[in-house]
Amino acid sequence: MKKHIPNSLTCAHLFSGCVGIVFAFRGKLDFAAYAVFIAAFFDFLDGMAARLLKVHSELGKQLDSLADMVSFGVLPSAIIFQLFQLPDSGSNNFWIYSAFFIAVFSALRLAKFNLDTRQTNSFIGLPTPASAMLTASFPLILMQGNASFTSIILSPYFLIIYIIINCWLLVAELPLLSLKFKNLVFAENSYRYALLMVGLISLLIFKFAAIPLIIFFYIILSIIQIRTTKNEVSSRN
């Protein structure tokens, strides 16, 4: 029975994404955003369960990618598509369909991840869960009612630029820090602990508006770690 536990959690992850898409197209973007975070929670649990129970399988790997495609590819695209059509955005032309490039590039990212042996201990390109949570933060930031944030997020120019940058980050040859803890030793996880600390403090201060800041800090921290590691290797040689 234990071999079915991770796959069951992955199915819950997929179900959350499907429900989120329904919410998005019904205009309930806050519930669609929550669905992304619920899917991310199940995505975290299925990986943890597979490691703890030692029941890795090719079926689980493929199922996880398919669930990621729905929850972290199609659902974020649906959210952006609906943001384009909100009354304050002023956009009703063909540009709204560019939202689905996020789904396309998420598929490319996931396919590359499944084939790329370099991504066992780190990531190359922005992981789809991080991309999806960044997108999901927009409706939740709008709920906070800050006029400045609202005018930025609902600008069609901002949304188009965001789509371009997000798509590039998904497939960029950019080494990024893996968030998986193999142990709790501080020296081996100092960057992960720094990210957690900054993330928690930012969430307490800025609430949902902290999520874009956390993703930005994650990318900067990853670049610092990669350069530091290279310098250490060079000095040893």
Q: What is the pLDDT of residues 77-121, one digit of tens each?
A: 999 999 998 865 555 677 899 999 999 999 999 998 888 777 666
In this prediction the pTM is 0.90
Q: In the CATH scheme, what is the homologous superfamily, with its name and number, of domain 4-173? A: CDP-alcohol phosphotransferase transmembrane (TM) domain (1.20.120.1760)
> Sign of the CA dihedral 86, 90, 96, 101?
negative
Q: Please state the rounded mean pLDDT for residues 21-49.
A: 95
pLDDT the model gives residue 145: 85
Range(s) of the chain covered by CATH 1.20.120.1760: 4-173
112: exposed, middle or buried (Cβ count in 10 Å: 0-12, 13-18, 19+) = middle
Tens of pLDDT, residues 162-205? 999 999 999 998 888 877 666 666 666 788 888 899 999 999 99
Return the closest-CA partner of residue 198 out of 180, 219, 182: 219
